[in-house]
A and B are shown apart, each in its own frame.
Chain A
Amino acid sequence: MNWSVVIPLILFLLLIFVIGFWASKHIRTTNASFLSEYFLGGRQLGGLILAMTMIATYGSASSFIGGPGVAYTEGLGWVLLAMSQVVTGYFVLMVLGKKFAIMSRRYKAVTLIDFLKGRYQSKWVVLVSAFSIIIFLFSAMAAQWVGGARLIESLTGLSYISALFIFALSVLVYVILGGFRAVALTDTVQGIVMLFGTLILLIATIAAGGGIDNIMADLQAENPNLITPYGAEGTLSASYVSSFWILVGVGVVGLPHVTVRAMSYKNSKAMHRALIIGTVVVGFIMLNMHLIGVFARPILPGIEVGDKVMPLIALEVLPAWLAGVVLAAPMAAIMSTVDSLLLVVSSAVVKDVYLNYIEPKATHEKVKKLSFSITAILGILVFLMALDPPELLIWLNLFAFGGLEAAFIWPVVLGLYWKKGNKYGALASMLIGILSYIIFHLYLPNLFDMHTVVMPVLLSLIGYVVVSIASSSRVTVPE
């Protein structure tokens, strides 16, 4: 085992634990509302933490481990694609924005589903959305755990199962103990680690490759397509790459674990700061880390498994101890996505299903116990699923997120800004979004040379508008 790499990683994990314990004090001492504190950090986030927790949440294993790996294979075209994520830095917070902050306080919403419940007043909207969150995010979580375990495996030489065990244990301990506040705080630490980790690694990689000019010349000599926007085989068409603006760009507005962050901030000032910090940091991280993947190619040719590009290049170009510090970054990315997913799924079970429909009058103590134990049980379930890992991490992950985007984007956005939207429209939109996503994914993937997500998002928009208008006589519009 390479101790000089492992020790920084262990220190990093310890730091995360300390934050978890510290945040758990807040939960023990607060008596106002356990649910709001545990699942939303008491709506007290400031600008920096808000920005970092949003970035850390969607800058997941798919982009951190998978992303540079694909960039290694495809060249600059994949960096171009990844830069469509800059838009998330400002778009999510601006579009949901102040209206979402005001309305979610008015509905006393702690989860995305609370918001939908307050807006549409419909049991079916709540149940369908809780169900889809549980199914889709659960599979996304499994994909992320696989990524985390693989990373530990490749760094320490431990077996996959022991690596998975270490990863699961560290995530569970601090999520269960500290809730949303712990997650947001560790996200901030992890975001900062990602920011500096990718920067150091990029600089070291450029140096190792003999400067950018040299690297570009090497790439062009190997395959000129690597420095075009069209990918190594010329298969990345303009329409395909552009369609990622929906999947990983503007469509992120519909992801439950992202929207919940847009109700967690303290005030307008926090939001304004988060807009600026978020845009800077997300663009910087995406650009750096995908460029690392491309630049690694002339230095370490012939890597077969994309997921191994990041760890291998770090070990190649950096001294071992620094590689350990830098490799805490992808670890951080995975953990911070996993923890927020875990919390969202657990809140869907506890708050949206159990408290709404099974036992509305559960006591304070019972809710507390239930929240902790459901979170733990979910974690163990994911662990069991991740034991037999599916191969293509990145696509499994994108499948789940695309489905959720198609389901939620219109009920959330038009629910906020279009008075005529009603529960029938929302229900139609969610069902059409999810079902058509699955159908397109299975039978007509990448129709019109665009990512599968595009058509379901369009269809669910049509469904929302048409059904809302058609059923308008059956619903009284609330003022």
Chain B
Amino acid sequence: MSEDKHWFRIAHREAWIGVGLAVFNFIWWFGFAYGLGGASPSSYDYIFGLPAWFFFSCVLGFIIMVVLVLLVVKFWFIEVPFEEEGGDES
């Protein structure tokens, strides 16, 4: 079943990509939230009215994740048939 192995290798790689994205997501989220947000509230900078830590961590972080998912799916994800016969959908 070498074809099987081929599809599984793709599936495994994509699962690892998911883990990688989550790790990046976490670091970005954590870094900005507690890096910038740890300061005293009176010294906060504001972007679009929101405290900078919040804007970078939650708003920009979200936008960046959307862009990354988009790119990853577009360029790295491969279409794989799910049925034994090979993509014969009714």
Seen from chain A, the residues whose Cβ lies within 8 Å of a Cβ on chain B are 76, 79-80, 83-84, 86-87, 89-91, 93-99, 101-102, 105-106, 211-213, 215-216, 220, 224-225, 227-230, 238, 242, 245, 249-250, 266-269, 272, 275-276, 279-280, 283-284, 287, 417
Residues in chain A near residue B15, CB distance under 8 A: 94-97, 99, 417
Contact partner of B70 (CB less than 8 A), chosen from A91, A213, A276, is A276
Q: List CB contacts (< 8 Å) of B64-90 with chain A.
A: 65-66, 69-70, 73, 77-84, 87, 89
Q: Is the CB of B54 within 8 A of A102?
A: no
Query: Are the C-beta atoms of A269 and B79 separated by less than 8 Å?
Result: yes
Among A220, A224, A228, A276, the one with the most B-chain Cβ atoms within 10 Å of its Cβ is A228
Tell me the minimal C-beta distance from B7 to chain A in angstroms.
Answer: 7
Given contacts A95-B15, A229-B53, A245-B26, contact A276 B73 (CB under 8 A): yes
Known contacts A90-B69, A97-B14, A272-B77, A76 near B51 by CB under 8 Å: yes
Contact between A238 and B65, CB atoms less than 8 A apart? no
Starting from the known contacts A213-B46, A268-B78, 18 additional A-B residue pairs (CB-CB under 8 Å) come to A80-B54, A83-B29, A86-B62, A87-B25, A98-B10, A99-B15, A102-B82, A105-B84, A211-B49, A220-B42, A224-B41, A228-B41, A229-B33, A266-B89, A268-B81, A268-B82, A272-B73, A283-B65
Choose one: A86, A87, A98; the contact of B14 (CB below 8 Å).
Answer: A98
Contacts A76-B51, A83-B29, A94-B18; A287 near B82 (Cβ below 8 A): no
Tell whether A212 pairs with B48 under 8 Å between CB atoms, given A80-B33, A95-B19, A224-B42.
yes
Chain B residues within an 8 Å CB radius of A211: 49
User: What is the CA–CA distance of A204 and B61 in the complex, to the nearest angstrom?
Assistant: 24
Pair A283/B10 contact, Cβ less than 8 Å: no
Dominant secondary structure of chain A at its interface with chain B: helix
Q: CA A313 – CA B42 in complex, angstroms?
A: 28
CA distance A94 to B37 in the complex (A): 31
**Do A216 and B46 form a contact, CB below 8 Å, given A106-B84, A238-B34, A287-B58?**
yes
A215-B46 Cα distance, complex, nearest whole Å? 13
Could you mark each residue 8-22 of chain B with 1 if its beta carbon is under 8 Å from any beta carbon of chain A, else 0? 101110110111011
Residue of A nearest to B48 (CB): A212
Note all chain B residues with C-beta closer than 8 A to A215: 49
Q: Is the CB of A216 within 8 A of B50?
A: yes
The 18 sampled A-B contact pairs (Cβ below 8 Å) are: A80-B57, A87-B26, A90-B21, A90-B65, A91-B21, A94-B14, A95-B18, A99-B8, A102-B11, A102-B80, A105-B84, A227-B41, A238-B30, A249-B22, A268-B82, A272-B73, A275-B69, A276-B73
Contact B21 A94 (CB under 8 A): yes
Q: Are A279 and B51 closer than 8 Å at their CB atoms? A: no
